[in-house]
Amino acid sequence: MRPLRCMKQLRIIVLGKHRSFIMDLLDQVQATGYTVLCHRAGHGPVPEPPFIFNELETFVMITAMVPEDMIQPILAGVAPLFGRHAGVMFVSDLAGSRPPERVPVAEAGQTAEVSITTR
């Protein structure tokens, strides 16, 4: 396990139709990775869309671990979206580490260790 690093955790919740916008933004600021969780629900001032089998109309949560210097460019990128559409972004302090990634090896049915370099 690598040593812990002080980072920021982002949790961005938007309608599914805006998912690619957020993913493109994270790619542009060179976030090294993120996770997209589909079909989120909750309670608040924005009405929940009706449950339908269309992930463009349900909420998604995109979570990422980024260095502090990426926060302002990401905030600048999401501000116009949040000015016109429902969404929220949470930022919290995080001490995190990324262990070597396990990548399946199809033929042998085993896993291989792959080291990930983070900034």
Instruction: Give pLDDT tens digits for 97-108.
Output: 766 554 444 444
The reply to whether the predicted model has a pTM over 0.75 is no
Q: Residue 65's beta-bridge partner residues?
A: 9
CA dist 105 and 13 (Å) reads: 34
Mean pLDDT score, 31-53: 68
Q: For the chain, how many residues are written?
A: 119
pLDDT digits (tens, 9 = 90+) for 66-119: 999 999 999 999 999 999 998 999 999 988 776 655 444 444 444 444 333 333
In angstroms, the CA 62 to CA 81 distance is 15
Closest CA to 37 of 65, 53, 57, 14: 14
Provide the residue type at 36 as one letter.
V
